[in-house]
């Protein structure tokens, strides 16, 4: 029987050191792009893909993420009193009634692989998605990245990695795959290496923050030794999974913003601002007339 993708894991326990001091007390996943935090864009992407259980693997300072998706009685009451009906509906509509949220504490920062393993008890024996909030992906002319990947999973019933071509000189920032073409935009993964130097990289096809994984990945993570950076790398576990199962790479349609970097975050803020229904006209005029003299 074909299984559906119902659950998504969001590893959000990282310290966000590249954005200090902004992330000293507030999680990097809560950094706003115009008027929504990064994590909300990712949850909306998952909901659009038909996912109804959001599993957050959190750290010590991440309670604000839980608060963000919780019901805000005081806020809703104040908006009701003030007659702010439109804003009230927006706040209440952030979380569809059929969607549930689960929060799991990662006791120690041991890497992405370990973070995913922390969700094992909730995921159970089901295929599941992994979404990294650092990567904000938009597709203004069609389905979102995760919707596209769920469609590919429905067709192939195997693990799928979201990939895109990157600058060949920046392969040491990503997990890099070598693939054999199966169909347009889809390739069978033959090799995956975590952050290889440009000289060692088998291609410039990089795994970005979107995965669909079969539950067999948990056993592989449990037997994976610490790799790059002294962490349990999800990439290494996927390499082990490939010895037992087919793993596909999918070049999604859309644009990725690396919001784990300051430049990527600023680019996302500007471009989302230029698409925002309320702001785009005035913001575009502002940028046209901006003078730095």
For residue 262, is it within any domain? yes
What confidence score (pLDDT) does residue 55 get? 96
Structure tokens at 190: 């033959």
For residue 290, is it within any domain? no
Distance between CA 29 and CA 176 in Å, rounded?
A: 24
For residue 285, is it within any domain? no
For residue 283, is it within any domain? no
Residue 183 three-state SS = strand
Q: Ramachandran region of residue 124, left (φ > 0), alpha (ψ -120 to 50) or beta?
A: left
In angstroms, the Cα distances linking 43 to 58, 85, 225 are: 15, 24, 31
Distance between CA 253 and CA 77 in Å, rounded?
A: 41
Rounded mean pLDDT of 43-62? 91
For residues 163 and 176, is the Cβ–Cβ distance under 8 A? no
Residue 41 CB partners (closer than 8 Å, separation 6+): 33, 133, 136
On the question of pLDDT at 92 being above 90, the answer is no
121-151 pLDDT per residue, tens: 999 999 999 999 999 999 888 899 999 999 9
Query: Closest by alpha carbon to 111, among 258, 203, 232, 264?
Result: 232
Q: Whole-prediction pTM value?
A: 0.92
180-193 pLDDT per residue, tens: 988 889 999 999 99
Domain span including residue 200: 7-276
For residue 135, is it within any domain? yes
Q: How many domains does the chain have?
A: 1
For residue 282, is it within any domain? no
For residue 288, is it within any domain? no
For residue 80, is it within any domain? yes
Rounded mean pLDDT of 185-211? 93
- Residue 64: which CATH number? 3.90.550.10
Rounded mean pLDDT of 236-240? 93
């Amino acid at each position: 029987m074909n299984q559906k993708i119902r659950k998504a894991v969001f590893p959000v326990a990282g310290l966000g050191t590249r954005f200090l001091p902004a992330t000293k007390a507030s999680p990097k996943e809560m950094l706003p792009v115009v008027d929504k935090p990064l994590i909300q864009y990712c949850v909306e992407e998952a909901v659009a893909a038909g996912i109804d259980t959001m599993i957050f693997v959190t750290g010590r300072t991440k309670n604000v993420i839980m608060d963000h998706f919780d019901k805000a009685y005081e806020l809703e009451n104040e908006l009701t009193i003030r007659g702010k009906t439109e804003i009230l509906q927006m706040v209440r509509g952030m979380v569809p009634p059929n969607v549930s949220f689960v929060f799991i504490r990662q006791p120690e920062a041991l890497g992405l692989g370990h973070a995913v393993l922390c969700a094992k008890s909730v995921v159970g024996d089901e295929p599941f998605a992994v979404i990294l909030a650092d990567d904000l992906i938009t597709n203004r002319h069609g389905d979102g990245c995760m919707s596209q990947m769920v469609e590919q999973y429905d067709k192939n019933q195997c693990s799928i990695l979201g990939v895109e071509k990157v600058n060949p000189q920046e392969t040491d920032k990503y997990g890099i795959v070598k693939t054999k073409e199966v169909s347009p935009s889809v390739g069978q993964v033959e090799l995956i290496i975590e952050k290889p130097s440009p000289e060692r990289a088998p291609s410039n096809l990089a795994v970005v923050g979107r995965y669909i994984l079969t539950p067999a990945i948990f056993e592989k993570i449990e037997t994976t030794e610490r790799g790059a950076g002294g962490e349990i790398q999800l990439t290494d576990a996927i390499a082990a999974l490939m010895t037992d199962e087919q793993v596909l790479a999918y070049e999604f349609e859309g644009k990725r913003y690396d919001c784990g970097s300051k430049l990527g975050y600023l680019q996302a803020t500007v471009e989302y601002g230029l698409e925002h229904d309320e702001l785009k006209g005035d913001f575009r005029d502002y940028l046209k007339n901006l003078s730095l003299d």
